[in-house]
Structure 1
Amino acid sequence: MDRVVYVAMTGAREITRQQAAVSHNLANIATTGFKAELNVFRALPVVGDGARTRAFVLETTPATDFTPGALQHTGRALDVAVRGSGWIAVQDAGGQEAYTRMGDLQTSINGILQTGTGMNVMGDGGPIAVAPDQEILIASDGTVSTVPTGRARNSVEIAGRIKLVDPSEQDLTRGEDGLFRLKSGQPAQADANIRLAVGTLEGSNVNPAEALVNMISLARQFETQMRVLRTAEDNHKAGDKVLAK
């Protein structure tokens, strides 16, 4: 009885957490470069005083599905997608380096190249700045060039080069802001072999049908845990009546 109560109680708790993760994935079906979050369960014994039969369910450390999303041609000059593996380096809200696949770039009012969410894009020596009234050109190797508006393209100037990195997936961790960072906390080395698809965006890798089926399955699993708890309660009451006699 002790075991079934702990397993059902903690199982129901972790199912609600996994439902939250699946809901988050579904909410980001249309988010550029989004990577789905993965969660699984495992059973663990309870350490400490009490019955040795006690066990509970625990959600493992959340993982990430790094499968590339589908590439969508936009024709916009500031839209870029990483071909194959790799990441675009950006500056997070705390000023530290982080990594994303979100390539819908823009310029701020101060002329800083940013992602669509306002994160500064990192170059070789920091954020990339672009002079005003300039047409921006991005090459497949991440080189950012500018041409004065209305002039011929033979007057191109190099503004910088987008820092592209390709650390091992096992070395990356996802932050609450959706950006990825190295577990060591150190910046990754730039990789000159990474190429960008210009005029293209990478879509989310969330499979809507699979996520919806998973949500329904989790709801039924939660109902099962609740039935187990009610059965345990009924059995306990029945046992008390027997002892009372």
Structure 2
Amino acid sequence: MDRLIYTAMTGAKHILEQQATTAHNLANATTTGFKAQVDSFRAVPVLGDGLPTRAFVVDATVGTDYKSGAIQQTGRELDVAVTGEGWIAVQRADGSEGYTRNGALKINENGQLQTSTGLNVMGDGGPISIPPDSAIAIGKDGTISTVSNLTTPSPSTIIARIKLTNPPPNTMKRADDGVFVTSTGQAAPADANVTVAGGALESSNVNVVETMVNMISLARGFEMQMKMLENAQNNAGKADQLFSLNG
């Protein structure tokens, strides 16, 4: 049996996986702070009798495009966008620390500052709690100041500072819950050089047009792999006919 069958089969399999990644990126084209997922492939020669004229396609790595998205002004006091490199530290469901660029924050019924997905935002001393009946202002360095709405005039009080961090990209990986974590599982240290813009959000870095073109290209590539399988089947049928004539 021609090894072409296995070559085309692995090619088609990994194209389907890449289509899933591309579809995932496209679905998150409007998700705040989303970072596109990138697939990388390599060819591995098929070793056996004769010359290594066939190769398998292997999914080598699944990476992330860390480039920043566009900053969009919202005017909402609880919206923050990380400017340049850096992350907002959050508390994951299992208690470990994760990192996100989604700065669409909210205050839950218990007064805790959270992301739009319900993860607690971490401060220098742990999760951040906001006093009731307070107006909030978030500074460039992540400092959170509040002013009581109950008295006029009321002094501004600094209650916490959002933990901002900037671990090297090669030490980061995407977790199943959508946030990023360090590859070692350890919490990254705070970085005073990371800054945020208040009243703004970072858009997804997915290029919709480029992603759509890639989806069409992948569909054509899958069709080519299917034609290779058909050719292998036709070649096998012709070979059987020749053997029948010789017999």
Contact 2:37–2:62 (CA<8 Å) still a contact in 1? yes
Query: Hey, what does 1:22 align to over in structure 2?
Result: 22
Q: How much does 1:55 deviate?
A: 3.3
Q: CA deviation at 1:234?
A: 0.8
Map 1:1-245 to 2 at 5 A. Answer: 2-45=2-45, 51=49, 53=52, 55-152=55-152, 154-245=154-245
Seq. identity, %:
54
Change (3 A) 1:142 1:120: same
Contact in 2 for aligned 1:78/1:105 (Cα 8 Å): yes
Query: Kindly tell me: are residues 60 and 152 of structure 1, through their superposed partners in 2, closer, same or farther at Cα, counting changes over 3 Å?
Result: farther
User: Quick one: distance in 2 between partners of 1:196 and 1:55?
Assistant: 48
Preserved contact between residue 133 and residue 150 of structure 2 (Cα < 8 Å): no
Counterpart of 1:92, as a letter, is R
Mapped partners of 1:194, 1:71: distance in 2: 15
| 1:210-243 C-alpha deviation (Å, 9 max, x unpaired) | 0000000000000000000010011011111211
- Taking structure 2 as the reference length, the TM-score comes to 0.94
8 Å CA contact 2:148–2:154 kept in 1: the answer is: no
**Number of residue-to-residue matches in the alignment:** 243
* Alpha-carbon separation, structure 1, partners of 2:151 and 2:202: 31
What CA distance in whole angstroms lies between the structure 2 residues aligned with 1:32 and 1:225? Answer: 36
**Mean Cα displacement is larger for which, 128-137 or 159-168?**
128-137
CA contact (8 A) 2:33 2:100 kept: yes
The Cα offsets for residues 121-166 of structure 1, whole Å up to 9 and x where unpaired, read as 0011111011222212211111112221143465222221100001
Q: 1:227 to 1:125 in 2, by over 3 A?
A: same
Question: Following TM superposition, by how much is the alpha carbon of 1:51 offset from its aligned partner in structure 2, in angstroms?
Answer: 4.9
What's the Cα RMSD here?
1.6
Check whether the contact 1:4–1:228 (CA below 8 A) recurs between aligned residues. yes
Per-residue CA deviations over 1:24-70 (Å, capped at 9, x if unaligned) read: 111011100001111122112457xx657463111221111111000
1:32/1:240 CA distance change after superposition, 3 Å: same
Specify the SS of the correspondent of 2:61. coil
Supply the distance in 1 between the matched residues of 2:75 and 2:176 (Cα, whole angstroms): 31
Output the amino acid matched with 1:88. I
Distance 1:160 1:80 in 2: 15
